[in-house]
Amino acid sequence: MLKGKSIVENLISFSWLISVFISFCISLVTIKLSIKILDKTQTIDIPNKRSNHNVPTPKGAGIGLIASLLIIYYLFFPINDFIFTISIFLLCVTSFINDNKQISIALRLLIQTILAFIIISYWSPLVESTLLEIFIPGWLESIIMLLFILWMTNLFNFMDGIDGISSVQCIIIGLGVGSCLFLSEDINKFENVIAGFFVGSGIAFLIWNWQPAKVFLGDAGSIPIGFINAILFLLLLKNGFWYVAIILNSYYLADSSITLIKRLLKKEKPWQAHKSHFYQKAVMNGYSHSEVCIIIAKHGLLLIIISFLASIMPSLIIILFSILISSLSTIYLLYYLSKTPKRNKKVI
């Protein structure tokens, strides 16, 4: 598959590996610096009855990861390509303020909506995309894309509830996307770089966030990363890798969406802290944070293999079968996390 590529195309393929390495190295530095900022600003997560931890822990280290992304982005892309980076920067800043001093949910959603609208309307990779226009009017497609970005942005924040889980999910997505695009003739540099960033920064952050976590991602990290993942998802759809996007995100989509629906049916406020997610139930069933993350990582490895096989044999039957297998495995994972108590339960 790689044999027929030009030198430039091969270099683009290797941009994923380069991005992994650079992201890891830069993130190690920026995370360390961000921890010093958190100490000075006293940005601390104080445990409460709905928390999944019991020790006051600095939160907001996501500013280190986003700083890393901004540096990496301009190592690969023109300096005048600022719509994407400014949007991510503003999301990070407003989310960091929220980590320190609570901002109303209405204002946060307004900011996210404006930035999502700007990305959809003015950022060329998405402006040039036509995902659903053959089925629906362009204005309706834009509304669907905007709502999707908002959901994926907040979904990642909802799921960032135990030590290590966000890093594990980033690594799963980054490895899956990187492996599928590496063998593709239809290579897009942006997706490779972002996938590499997810892996490199995810591994770096895991050093501090593995149980017991020394620091939390905070809204400053989870909100922008969710936003980036939404854009990556849409670009994969645009380039024909819709099944890769769905498969790799299947657990996060299922856990968050099912939990949200159940809470809405109970007339609970979606933005309030709770312990209703499937991964949280696993912790209450006696599993440690690290054990839950390992279970999710094993499932993630299966998703990576499934998406990779589908990408090298992209017939409709194979793709649909791959989605079926990933869906069934995700359903089983949700059942396992919520219904399987661990022997000799221990308090986390």
Q: Which helix (H) or strand (E) holds 141?
A: helix 138-159
The predicted model gives 217-238 an average pLDDT of 96
pLDDT at 344 > cutoff 60: no
Q: 10 Å Cβ neighbour count for 74?
A: 13
Round to whole Å and give the CA distance between 161 and 264: 19
Task: Assess contact for 117 and 146: CB atoms under 8 A.
Answer: yes
Coil, helix or strand at residue 253: helix
Round to whole Å and give the CA distance between 348 and 346: 6
What pLDDT is recorded for position 49?
64
pLDDT at 9 > cutoff 90: no
Q: What is the mean pLDDT of the chain?
A: 89
Coil, helix or strand at residue 75: helix
Per-residue pLDDT of 162-213, as tens digits, reads 999 999 999 999 999 999 987 665 555 899 999 999 999 999 999 999 999 9
pLDDT at 4 > cutoff 80: no
- Residues in Cβ contact with 211 at an 8 Å cutoff, skipping those fewer than 6 apart: 162, 163, 164, 288, 289, 290, 293
Per-residue pLDDT of 280-321, as tens digits, reads 999 999 999 999 999 999 999 999 999 999 999 989 999 999
The predicted model gives 84-93 an average pLDDT of 97
The predicted model gives 336-348 an average pLDDT of 67
Q: Which of 132, 196, 207 is nearest to 163 (CA)?
A: 207
Amino acid code (one letter) for 283: V
Cis, bond preceding 78 (omega within 30 deg of 0): no
